[in-house]
Amino acid sequence: MNPEILNYIPQRAPFIMIGDVISADETATLTSLEITADNLFVSNGVFTEPGLIENMAQTAGAGTGYRAKKEGKPQPKGYIAALKSVNIIELPKVNDTITTETTFLQTLLSFHLVRGKVTVGDKEIANCEFKIFVYTDQPAQ
DSSP 70-127: HTTPPPPEEEEEEEEEEEE--PPBTT-EEEEEEEEEEEETTEEEEEEEEEETTEEEEE
Domains observed in the chain: 3-135 (3.10.129.10)
Summarised one tens digit per residue, pLDDT across range 17-59 is 999 999 999 899 999 999 999 999 999 999 999 999 999 999 9
Summarised one tens digit per residue, pLDDT across range 109-121 is 889 999 999 999 9
